[in-house]
Every structure is written in structure tokens, then in C-alpha cells.
Amino acid sequence: MDDGIGRRGFLIGGLAAALTVTARGTTGLAMAAEPGKRGPQALVVPVMGNYRISNPATGCEVRVRVSGGIRSMTSNGLPRAKPGTFPNAECPNAIRAQSYAARLPASPERTTYAAYALPQPFGLAVDGVPFDPLAAEFWNRDQQSGWQYDAQGGGVRLGLDRNHAHVQPNGAYHYHGIPDGLLESISPRLHSPLVGWAGDGFPIYATYGYADAMNSRSPITALTSSYRLKSGTRPSGPGGSYDGWFNQDYEYVAGSGDLDQANGRFGVTPEYPKGTYFYVLTEAFPGIPRMFAGEIAASFVKPPGAGLGGSAGGTPPSPSGGPPPGPGGGPPNGQRRSPASSRDSR
């Protein structure tokens, strides 16, 4: 059996899920429940090749074509899964359609990832929504402070919905973490679906992979990052103990987890049985990777001060392994207070 359009697949978390896993274990997008069928069956569009999504319920429009070694992605940035309510008390921006176009290498090559760090969106999900890990909030609202709030660290309220997403002032909806609505649920019994493509063309997965990177018969496990909270207290800026509020509260400790500095590794996956380098979205920091392992595609590079959806960027991390600084407001003179609401979010 091939994995072409119309093939039946098995949903990870019921018919509401957009991503499904086929009988071969490869990723597809569930377009609709199959009429007259019982059980978790759906029409599946595989995401490795050409596909198109048009979802009137959310307005999602995405088209992908693979030809001549290039994966061309165009989308309006509206999600396949239902987003939360925007504006909301902590995010005053309404969702508006965007115009995204990226030409990514279908067979990317590794480079030295320390040379390719954010400050820009990291990639596009299979539904055409950007993965954008950095928040536009800094300690004391000072972008030169060197202390950038982590979007999911709890130090600033960004009005994230269940997809770990919110909206920029220009209306751009974007993921700051694992897009649970797209996945619906991530089964620890199954290898992660392929959830998107990074700006260098390498695939992105979420959380679960093979315990032995090169053995598809090894157990499924939650892949862990190699970033750890620093010990002690901050030497400047907000002061206080390292607690995860800021990106700079973490350091890369090689070999302490399954993944490298770019939150990726080389291994086999259902879509790449011979192996590939791939990135992993993790529950723990950094969540969405902050570095590229390959050269960013020219169509994905954005000028300083602008992200894929027009947002301000942060400062790239140093090659020594510290996470990138980034944007926001914070407690003065080292005093801690309740998390702040953001009205100037990425």
C-alpha cells in the first residue's frame, strides 16, 4: 500500500486531531472523517510530498510542493486546529491572515550550528503557522539588558492558548511551544509525527522518538534536551536565583540529554528510515529550538528587526552555548513580582 492522498490513517488522539499516523507510522494530515466508517479513521494527506489544506472553520490555507530539490511552502498563517480567543486579557491582538512563502531545501546539509542562531522564527508547521520561540519581553523593557523572558517560563503572561500560541501586533498567529491543538495529543506509545520544517529545511518532530537513534525497533521514549538551569544567583539584571523565567537562566550541558545544542540529533524516523538530522520540540527548555544546524534558506532569512510575521527579533546566543537573549518588561532592582502581562508580544 502506498501513502498517497486518500489513504486511511490512525489518529493520535481521536477525530479532532489534525495530525495522524498511517499504518506505516508516517505522518499525514487528517482532512475529514471518512463517511460511514466507525472508529478513528480519516482521509489522510501525507506531508512529505505535495499537499494542500483549506479549512473553512479556521481559515487555514497552506500549499506545499516539492520539486527540483526544493520544498515550497505558502500559507496564510491561520492554524488548522481551532485557536484560542484573541484578543484576550493578556494578548490584545486579533488574528489576521498573513502571506508566508518559503523555499526550503528538501535535502538540507549540516553546517556548524553555532554560526546560525535565531533572532527570527525557527520554522513553519505543517499547517503553515510559524514556530517562533522568542518573546519580545526583556527585563526592565531593556533589550540591551541581556535578560530576555522565556515565552513559557512563567515570568511574563503572553495570553497563550492551548496550542502554546498567541498573536503579534500585526495579527500573526505563531507557536511558542508544542502545538497541542495540531497534535491533539502526543502518544508516548508512538514516534512523534513530523510537525514541520525548520528554516534550513530539516524536519521537526515533537517529544517522542526512538531510544536508540539508529534503531527503529528500539522503545519509544521522550527525547530530552541538554539544557539545564544554572545553579546559584544571577550576577546582574533581575538578580535572584536562576528559576527559568529568563532564557539566560539555562546553559547547554553537552551529553546531559538526548539532543544537541540545536535541540536535534541524527537518527532514523518513520519518514526517514535511513536516517536524517532532525529537530525536536521538547516540553522542557528550549521547547522550540533556538539554533539552526544547517544554513538558513535565503527565502527564510529576515532582515534585522523583522521576523517571519514582522516581529522584532532578539540577540543571537554566543557560540559557547548560552541560549539567546531576547525582548519584555521585568522586576526592577532584582525584586521579584507576579508575572507581568505583555502588550508588546511577538
- d(C-alpha 208, C-alpha 189), whole Å: 9
Is the pLDDT at 41 greater than 80, yes or no? no
Would the pLDDT of 230 be above 90? yes
Question: Which residue, among 202, 244, 208, 206, has the nearest Cα to 227 in the 3D structure?
Answer: 244
More reliable by pLDDT, 1 or 85: 85
The whole-model pTM stands at 0.82
CA separation for the pair 225, 124 (Å, rounded): 21
- Name the DSSP class of 95: P
Burial class (CB in 10 A: 0-12, 13-18, 19+), 303: exposed
* Helical (H) or strand (E) element with 276: strand 276-281
The whole-number pLDDT of residue 256 equals 97
* 232-258 pLDDT per residue, tens: 999 999 999 999 999 999 999 999 999
The one-character DSSP state at 78 is -
DSSP 91: B
Q: Which pairing describes strands 276-281 and 220-222: parallel, antiparallel, or unpaired? A: unpaired
**Between 130 and 7, whose confidence is greater?**
130
Residue range 293-317, pLDDT digits in tens: 999 998 888 754 344 433 333 333 3
What percentage of the chain reaches a pLDDT higher than 70?
A: 73
237: closest CA among 249, 229, 250, 228?
Answer: 249
C-alpha cell at position 126: 505543517
By mean pLDDT, which of 18-27, 67-76, 316-325 is the weakest? 316-325
Helices within the chain (DSSP H only): 180-183
pLDDT 10s digits, 192-213: 999 999 999 999 999 999 999 9
Report pLDDT digits (tens) over 51-97.
Answer: 998 889 999 999 999 999 999 999 999 999 999 999 999 999 999 99
Distance, in Å, from the CA atom of 221 to the CA atom of 215, rounded to the nearest integer, reads 12
Could you give the CA distance from residue 224 to residue 44 in angstroms, rounded to a whole number? 30
Rounded Cα distance between 25 and 73, Å, is 24
Strand, coil or helix: what is 181? Answer: helix
Interacting residues of 156 by C-beta distance below 8 A, sequence separation 6+:
135, 137, 149, 245, 328, 329, 330, 339, 340, 341, 342
**Does 342 or 220 have the greater pLDDT score?**
220
pLDDT higher than threshold 80 for residue 226: yes
Query: Is 101's pLDDT higher than 90?
Result: yes
Give which of 70, 143, 110, 83 is closest to 300, Cα–Cα: 70
Mean pLDDT, rounded, of the chain = 80
